[in-house]
């Protein structure tokens, strides 16, 4: 008959306890020896900015994180509105510039060209055509001629 190997439960517990103790002490040292963020190292250690400024920055960082966490939906809606406005701004600006060009061209036609027999709609059409690169405005005879 062969003898069964027996293990002492106290020894197993002691080994587990020792390994856990070593792991926790290593983790504690890792947490304790954690490096400073690069911006803290640069600004406050290397350059030497005052510590009061660091305290204010860290408080602002904490409050901004809390604000973002609490007001997440409002921030997303705000960013969506800003993005929409930024997307449509060039279209609105282009339309405004074209309307201004048409108004200036219409005033030029009325002041400087012989518009007898041309109604208001045709003047608007010619000014629009001119602003889009047309040359019909030059076909109208000048008042001086």
| The token pair that represents 50 in the structure block | 């005052």
pTM of the predicted protein model:
0.48
Mean pLDDT within 51-79: 93
Same domain, 65 and 79: no
Are 141 and 114 a contacting pair, CB within 8 Å?
yes
Mean pLDDT of the chain: 81
**Nearest 5°: CA angle at 23, between 20 and 36?**
150
Contacts of 134 (CB under 8 A, 6+ apart): 126
* 90 in the same domain as 59: no
Residue 4 lies in a domain: no
Answer yes or no: are the C-beta atoms of 126 and 136 closer than 8 Å: yes
Structural domain harbouring 21: 9-70
Q: Within this chain, do residues 98 and 142 fall inside the same structural domain, yes or no?
A: yes
Q: What is the pLDDT of residue 37?
A: 85
Predicted pLDDT of residue 137: 75
- Tens of pLDDT, residue by residue over 10-57, are 665 666 666 665 556 555 555 556 777 888 888 888 898 898 999 999
Q: Give SS3 for 101.
A: helix
d(CA 82, CA 98): 25
37 and 97 in a single domain? The answer is no
Q: How many domains does the chain have?
A: 2
Start-end of H helices in the chain: 9-32, 38-40, 51-70, 72-112, 120-131
Are 43 and 16 contained in the same domain? yes
| pLDDT tens, residue by residue, 110-128 | 888 877 778 889 888 988 8
Report the pLDDT value the prediction gives residue 24, as an integer from 0 to 100.
Answer: 60
Q: How many other C-beta atoms lie within 10 A of the C-beta of residue 47?
A: 8
Do residues 77 and 124 share a domain? yes
- The per-residue pLDDT for 26 is 58
Note whether 44 and 112 are same-domain residues. Answer: no
């Amino acid at each position: 008959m062969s003898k069964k190997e027996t293990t002492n439960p106290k020894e197993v517990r002691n080994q587990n306890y020792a390994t856990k103790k070593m792991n926790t002490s290593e983790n504690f040292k890792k947490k304790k020896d954690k490096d400073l963020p690069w911006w803290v190292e640069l600004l406050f250690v290397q350059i030497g900015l005052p510590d009061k400024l660091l305290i204010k920055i860290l408080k602002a960082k904490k409050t901004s994180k809390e604000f973002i966490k609490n007001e997440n939906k409002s921030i997303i809606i705000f960013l969506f509105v800003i993005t929409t406005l930024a997307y449509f701004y060039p279209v609105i600006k282009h339309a405004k510039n074209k309307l201004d060009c048409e108004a200036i061209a219409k005033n030029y036609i009325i002041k400087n060209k012989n518009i007898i027999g041309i109604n208001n709609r045709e003047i608007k059409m010619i000014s629009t055509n001119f602003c889009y690169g047309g040359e019909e405005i030059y076909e109208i005879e000048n008042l001086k001629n």
